[in-house]
Amino acid sequence: MTHLSVNINKVALIRNSRGSELPNLLQVALDCERFGADGITVHPRPDERHIKYDDCRTLKPQLSTEFNIEGYPDAKWLALVKEVQPAQATLVPDDPNQLTSDHGWDTIKHADFLRSVIEDLQSHGIRVSLFVDPQEQYIEGAKKVGADRIELYTGPYAHLYPDGPAKAIDKYVPAAKFAQSLGLGLNAGHDLNLDNLAYFHEQIPFLDEVSIGHALISDALYYGLENTIQLYQRRLHK
């Protein structure tokens, strides 16, 4: 069964725009769980423009599903993750001022750094996923540095999907099967939405998790949060 983890960064962004607690981030996270989400994802950035570091501390003891913290593993982020101890830490190679994640790790060039970070997090009982592009050398590199899972960066898939689903996914299916053959768990995320999610899942049914935020929160403006989560779950055959 593929789990749906709801990224609530955009909810925090709306809250921060008025400097208040409206919408209440914790309540939204708990409601996402109540409405059928299998997990909650956050991505605190150095400038805390959406998720704040203290949000992670508030959320963790209240959540009943898996908590996933994404981010670039600098010293401050690592200290937070080891303190909060989420079920999963997803390492992304973002620059501090990057608008959104738009590429995966070069797991060969950064092998020593990643191996050290992964061992540190795993020693605290945290599962580690690496954000990677659908290229075998980087997936093999993820295995070599000790990652538990990879998260396939699906931005290019989403970009190409309107012009032809088969062409959009042609690199992802062999990459996913290669990861599976290495014994890596498999996540996917970035720009997945109600239009393109079902096809992606049909072609790669052994996905462990998809993490979706921007599109899901945007859809919730029209359909409501509870209905939207159920719509996404139905795309995953639930």
Given the residues 3, 33, 50, 70, select the one marked as catalytic.
Answer: 70
Phi, psi of 201 (to 5 degrees): -70, -35
Which amino acid is residue 222, in one-letter code? Answer: Y
Indicate if 201 belongs to the active site.
Answer: no
Contact 68, 86 (CB under 8 A): yes
For residue 188, list its beta bridge partners: 152, 210
Tokens of 106: 């070069």
Phi, psi of 222 (to 5 degrees): -100, -40
Given the residues 43, 151, 201, 209, select the one marked as catalytic.
Answer: 43
Closest alpha carbon to 146 in 111, 177, 180, 181: 111
Indicate if 190 belongs to the active site.
Answer: yes
Which amino acid is residue 212, in one-letter code? Answer: I
Indicate if 124 belongs to the active site.
Answer: no
DSSP 170: T
Given the residues 33, 50, 151, 190, select the one marked as catalytic.
Answer: 190
Burial class (CB within 10 angstroms; exposed 0-12, middle 13-18, buried 19+) of 118: buried
Question: What is the C-alpha separation between 8 and 178, in angstroms, rounded?
Answer: 31
The CA radius of gyration of the chain, in Å to the nearest whole number, is 17
Which amino acid is residue 181, in one-letter code? Answer: S
Which amino acid is residue 98, in one-letter code? Answer: Q
Question: What is the C-alpha separation between 180 and 149, in angstroms, rounded?
Answer: 10
Residues belonging to the active site: 43, 70, 190
